[in-house]
Amino acid sequence: MVLSALLRAFGSRKLTIILDDVHLLSGQAVTGLLSEWVRGCPPNLALIMASRHELWSGLMRIKLEGRVSELTRTDLCFNREEAEEFWGFFDEAAYTATEGWVLAMQSYRMAAEGNPDLSISKIRADRDIHRYLMDEIFGRLSPEIRRFLLCTSLLPNLEVRMCDSLLGIGNSRDILEELVSRNIFTLCISGSTYRYHELLRDFLQQNDDGSGLETVRRAMAWHFDRGDYEHAADYALLADDAKFIHDCISAALGRPFAGGRYRRLKEYFDCLEAHHTELTPRVLLARGMYLSSRGNFFEADRDLSAAADQIRSEERAVYLYAMTHKARVLRNNVSFEESSRCLGILLPLLEGQPMATLYAVVIEKIYNLTLTSQLNAALELTRAMIEKCSVCGDLRVKAWFERYLTAVCFFMGD
């Protein structure tokens, strides 16, 4: 009745009606009226609704029919080209921090006038942005959601199962989905993993009462107890806990060097150095192997020599791995002969070791033979290892040796 009377009052005139802050409306009667209005909207009437929330369920069918044009957060954010045009210059750090959010970009634009080298910290400390987030966003949330945000403010990514475990709750997904649906600076980056906008994280950390750091410490223990030492160390970096990082490296000796995580390893060891942490033999070995992998053979030799003898009687696999790096150091700092002599000592110790460990040692021997023009010996050893892998059924390591076989054949001119 109300809707019919309203539409009749408009008549045939062309009108555009704009409703702002629709997210503040509540109650089935109000949203139902608006849904009916949209469904019965005549051609002469355009209805524009601005809201921080996603479309409510009553409008989804109309959207699927193509009768609703929706501009989302992604549409409204500036891309890199638009940001450069808006600023008159481009600052990658500033763009990463703002993520194209118009209010933050305007704040940076005003602060950077005449000073394009302005520190990105200016955006993060901007009082207008801080007040906006406090008054328009944070202050209007329920106590439960505010507590959740503060407790997770330091987490770079929010995985549902981990958040439930760390906070002792069972509705992390519901909270995160509500934040996403209400466009409260929260993104879903996979099926069960979310993250906050950088500026929201900064705001939350500025207002943290210590609960964020407490959650990080729980995350450190949560990952460590599950044998995920790399992520445990990553969280320890957030807490600036050098001792815990040391324990993670010691526990993961031989494992952190997989998967291209050298950048993070540097951060781990930089933290240990900054705190003047005394390194145990295991961590000395880890640092020596890392330095060897990065080509810093002088310092690698120092660490490997200082720690290897103390490890030898305890863990053969770790000792083999460390001495393989020692052979690399000798090859680059002394001679191929000394490197091969070191590898020759290791070969008898390979009995009973996994094929991957055997590969790590033998491939260095093949490398030395190849680069000293002992190509027939290199070819024979490579073929023997391929055959050994076939007998053992380890096709993965077999493929590794086969890949190097092509290099040997290349040097032979085949």
pLDDT tens digits for range 321-342: 788 888 888 888 889 999 999 8
Q: Number of folded domains in the chain?
A: 4
* Residue 314's CATH number: 1.25.40
Query: Is residue 68 predicted with pLDDT exceeding 70?
Result: yes
Average pLDDT along the chain: 83
Q: What predicted TM-score, i.e. pTM, was given to this entire model? A: 0.66
Lowest mean pLDDT among 222-231, 239-248, 316-325, 353-362: 316-325
Residue 130 within any structural domain of the chain: no
Residue 302 confidence (pLDDT): 87
Percent share of the chain, pLDDT over 90: 31
Residue 257's pLDDT is what?
45
* Neighbouring residues of 143: CB distance < 8 A, sequence distance ≥ 6: none
Each residue of 113-129: pLDDT tens digit? 655 555 555 555 467 77
Tell whether 121 and 8 lie within a shared domain: no
Tell me the CB-side half-sphere exposure of residue 402, using CA atoms within 13 A: 11
Residue 131 inside a domain? The answer is no
CB 77 within 8 A of CB 102: yes
pLDDT of residue 195: 92
Q: Are residues 44 and 17 in the same domain?
A: yes
Would you state the pLDDT for residue 185?
85
In a domain, 289, yes or no: yes
CATH number, position 188:
1.10.10.10
Residue 51 shares a structural domain with residue 93: no
One domain for residues 111 and 212: no
pLDDT for the residue numbered 4: 65
Q: 256 pLDDT band (50/70/90 cuts)?
A: very low
Mean pLDDT of 254-260: 48
pLDDT of residue 146: 94
pLDDT at 7 > cutoff 90: no
- Mark whether 141 and 198 lie in a shared domain: yes
Residue 248 vs residues 163, 233, 271, 316, 321: alpha-carbon distances, Å:
21, 6, 13, 20, 18
When pLDDT is averaged across residues 253-278 and rounded to a whole number, the result is 75
Full residue range of the structural domain in which residue 189 is found: 136-217
> End of a domain among 217, 252, 280?
217
Looking at the structure, tell me whether residues 167 and 209 fall in a common domain: yes
Q: Are 282 and 151 contained in the same domain?
A: no
User: What CA–CA distances, in Å, run from 331 to 240, 326, 343, 368?
Assistant: 37, 9, 11, 8
For the segment 140-159, what is each residue's pLDDT rounded down to a tens digit?
889 999 999 999 999 999 99
- Residues 112 and 193 grouped into a single domain: no
Phi, psi dihedral angles at 137 (to 5 degrees) = -115, -70
Whether 237 is covered by a domain: the verdict is: no
Rounded to whole angstroms, the Cα distance separating 414 from 409 reads: 5
DSSP assignments along 334-403, one per residue: T-HHHHHHHHHHHGGGGTT--HHHHHHHHHHHHHHHHHTT-HHHHHHHHHHHHHHHHHHT-HHHHHHHHH
Tell me: do 257 and 394 sit in the same domain.
yes
Q: Greatest CA span in the chain, whole angstroms?
A: 97
Residues 110 and 151 in one domain: no
Q: Are 397 and 382 in contact (CB under 8 A)?
A: no
Confidence of residue 171 (pLDDT cuts 50, 70, 90): very high
What is the distance, to the nearest Å, from the Cα of residue 276 to the centroid of all Cα atoms in its chain? 28
> Average pLDDT for residues 254-272, to the nearest whole number?
69
268 and 306, same structural domain? yes
**229 in any annotated domain:** no
Place 232 in a pLDDT band, splitting at 50, 70 and 90. very high
Please tell me whether residues 300 and 212 are part of one structural domain: no
Please indicate, yes or no, if residue 18 is contained in any of the structural domains. yes
* Dist. CA 358–CA 321, nearest whole Å: 10
